[in-house]
Amino acid sequence: MRLTRLTATHLQAVEALERAVFSNPWSAKALELLCTERAFGFVVMQEDKAAAYGGMLTVLDEGQITNIATHPHHRRRGYAAMVLQALLGEARERGIAFVTLEVRASNAPAIALYQKFGFEAVGTRKRFYTNPTEDALVMQCTLTHL
């Protein structure tokens, strides 16, 4: 198991992970966005497969988490926590002041993960998700710079 920065070499593996986890998965082509200048990602690789990954887009001093996912076979081993810690560490290094994200309102595991890292609910977006339709909870974390 190794945590590494997401690069173009990981896109097929992460696409397979997206398909295993989400009803509207990101394609390898869409994931290329995370390898551009104003975005980044981290992936936990197990041999040639992606066990977990997460991405962040940045605009000025704001970061937005695109997705975090752990393959169902690898859950509750701390992989998502490792990915989120790496994302927030990189965000700090890039001078990001606060990070936002949307999460399905019923997604208790993800909400618990984000709360553990200091995210708080700041609003909702009605019917934000499809397949199935559901509200999004908007969460935000202010980064402290030492």
Tokens linked to 102: 């949307």
Stretch that binds ligand COA, among 1-9, 27-35, 110-118, 121-129 (CB under 6 A): 110-118
Judged by CB under 6 A, does residue 77 bind ligand COA? yes
CA-CA distance, 125 to 4, in Å (whole number)? 32
- Cβ–Cβ < 8 Å for 66, 56: yes
Judged by CB under 6 A, does residue 109 bind ligand COA? yes
Site string for ligand COA, 44-73 (x = CB under 6 A): --------x--------------xxxx---
CA–centroid distance for 58 within its chain? 13
Cis preceding-peptide flag for 72 (omega within 30 of 0): no
- Cβ–Cβ < 8 Å for 112, 95: no
CA-CA distance, 139 to 100, in Å (whole number)? 6
Q: How far is the CB of 43 from ligand COA (least distance, A)?
A: 13
Residue type at position 14: V
Stretch that binds ligand COA, among 2-10, 32-40, 76-84, 123-131 (CB under 6 A): 76-84
Judged by CB under 6 A, does residue 107 bind ligand COA? yes
Residues tagged active-site:
102, 114
Q: How far is the CB of 98 from ligand COA (least distance, A)?
A: 17
Residues that bind ligand COA (CB under 6 A): 21, 52, 67-70, 75-81, 103, 107-110, 112-113, 116
